[in-house]
Chain A
Amino acid sequence: MIKVEWIFWLCAGFFLIVAVLRLTDRGDTKRLGSAAFWGILAFTFVYGTFVTTGSGSSLVEGIAVLALAALAGVGHPGRGTERTTSQEERKALADRFGNRLFIPALLIPLVAVVFAAALAKVTVGGHLLLEKDFATIIGLGVASVVALVAGMVIFRERHLATPFREGDRLLGHIGWAAILPQFLATLGLLFNEAGVGKAVSRITNAVLPHGVLLLAVLVYCLGMALFTMIMGNAFAAFPVMTAAVGWPILIQQFHGNPPAVFAIGMLAGFCGTLATPMAANFNLVPAALLELKDQYGPIKAQIPTAVPLWVCNVAIMYFFAF
């Protein structure tokens, strides 16, 4: 059985190579801090395997994670020296390779889809071939390796270091934003433990007008969107808002149609995800990856869609779910 942990180790391998590249880059003024950052990250990815199974110490992992935060806080990792092709060279290379350039790029989704759609259901000797629930991630990992090999062959690239140097260049643009989503997931856990959900449901109950359907729908949808913006994740908001408003008021009191109320409520939360930096993997990472000057650029492009779409959700729920 192919385990998702293998893919995490693959990521760790990449981080480790980047750490070595940073360390040996004499032109990088931040080379020690940058190498430490990617090296520690590689460690957390491998050691994380043992933490999730319980055989490793979460304290050790936690200390490493806080070290990453401290390094990020003082401006690491740096970007390093870029050693890639110039604009003119790229024009000449595009002349030479033409549409063959798209082959590795298209192989990624192709292989990933084969894994997610077909191999996910394959069993070998009574066991699933791919670890349950992780077919997409395993597929993405395998797809990148397949595409990389294909690219090396098509371009007749002889140096194995080249793709990693190029990967280091892109990772340099993302910087610590690469692991911000993981940090936010952790914050979600601590928020839950501290009872943020309970506080939100108490406030919701205090402002909730009883007996008026439209207002109850508004409070449910607004609560989903706002709480999602705070947590960065509609999944965290759903149980809280449903326990406070969705079930007792919309279903029990107003006899709403459960699948409609819950599905649309979740989608009202998604409108919040479009508008919050807390959803870093969807909103901040793309900004870094596209080398935007304004890290909130994608959010600004999404808010004018999120607001009218949220209104649509309220209207659909009000008119069709009761």
Chain B
Amino acid sequence: MWVLLAVAVVVVGFALRLNSMLVVTVAGITAGLIAGLSPVAIIRAFGTGFAGSRSVTVFIVVLPVIGLIERYGLQEQARRLISRLRRLTTGRLLAAYLLIRQATCALGLTAVGGPAQAVRPIVAPMSEAAAEREHGRLTDRMREKIRSSAASADTVGLFFGEDIFVAVGSILLITGFVDATYHLKLEALQIALWAIPTAVCALVIHGVRMLRLDRTLSRMAEQGRTASGRGGGSR
């Protein structure tokens, strides 16, 4: 049961918002020591683990081109495009993005969206522009709220879309593990079909929340106006 000490390191570290890299390193060393590994073996584990999981960091290769098009005014153009579509509010835009993200992921096209290549350069500026058209200047709180929501639409769409696609990692893990351990013969397609009810629930729940964002933003804009009306301002 001592291993749970390593888990506690992580929970406490993240809760206190200490530097995450240090928290994870200390937790890893703690776990390794509890497992009875020698210091050298722990360092080796860090090396193998890091080398073996380089693929999660590959998203950074898009940064030069994204930075380049930002330099030439992409976010500005994304804003302009939205200002012509008057009926597209922030909430409707994000709900639509959620649907597109989920549908494309269900077809296995997970590279269509993503925080680096879609949310930062296109979805977030468009959502902000739609809110600016409605409320004028945005407060910092509103901006944070809109960007967080844009990130959430991307992630929820990915998680509960990709599981409908047959050849995705989680389905292969289920069939691989269960077939090998319990001698069943599960069809990947059956598992994918059973992901559909949850996917529909995710679309409805998160979609409705994205649509309701418009009302939340109106309320926040109202609060922002009264706050700055009192001469306080939050800049």
Contact = CB atoms under 8 A, between A and B. Distances in A.
Given A137-B58, A194-B35, A239-B177, A148 B151 contact: no
A289 B144 CA distance: 12
Contacts of B223: none
A187 B27 contact: yes
A128 to B, nearest CB: 14
Given A84-B70, A290-B124, A260 B194 contact: yes
A304 interface: yes
A67 to B, nearest CB: 11
Given A4-B55, A190-B31, A162 B109 contact: no
Contacts of A57: 47
B202 A309 contact: yes
Nearest to A320: B197
A196 interface: yes
Interface string B79-119: 01100000000000000000000000000111111011111
B61 A193 contact: no
Nearest to A175: B21
Given A72-B22, A193-B45, A298-B151, A181 B198 contact: no
B146 to A, nearest CB: 10
A204 interface: no
A308 B73 contact: no
B64 interface: yes
Contact of B32 (A65, A177, A184, A194): A194
A241 to B, nearest CB: 11
B43 A8 contact: no
Nearest to A180: B20
A80 to B, nearest CB: 13
Interface in B148-163: 148-152, 154-156, 158-160, 163
Nearest to B177: A239
B44 interface: yes
Contacts of B182: 247, 251
A287 interface: yes
B142 to A, nearest CB: 12
A179 B60 CA distance: 10
Contacts of A214: none
B233 interface: no
B191 to A, nearest CB: 4
The DSSP consensus for interface residues of chain A is: helix
Contact of A190 (B1, B28, B40, B194): B28
B197 A316 contact: yes
Contact of B49 (A4, A151, A185, A282): A185
B41 to A, nearest CB: 9
B48 interface: yes
A141 to B, nearest CB: 5
B42 interface: yes
B20 A259 contact: no
A281 B42 CA distance: 24
Nearest to A151: B68
Output the residue of B1, B22, B45, B81 with the most chain A CB within 10 A: B45
Contact of A264 (B42, B46, B50, B198): B198
A243 to B, nearest CB: 7
B47 A65 contact: yes
B53 A286 contact: no
A122 interface: no
Interface in B56-86: 56-77, 80-81
Contact of B174 (A137, A162, A266): A266
Residue among A144, A273, A316 with most chain B CB within 10 A: A144
B87 to A, nearest CB: 20
B12 interface: no
13 contacts: A72-B19, A94-B72, A99-B77, A113-B112, A144-B62, A165-B67, A166-B63, A182-B57, A187-B28, A188-B49, A196-B7, A258-B178, A263-B194
Which are the 4 A-B pairs with shortest beta-carbon distances? A166-B67, A186-B49, A62-B47, A61-B47
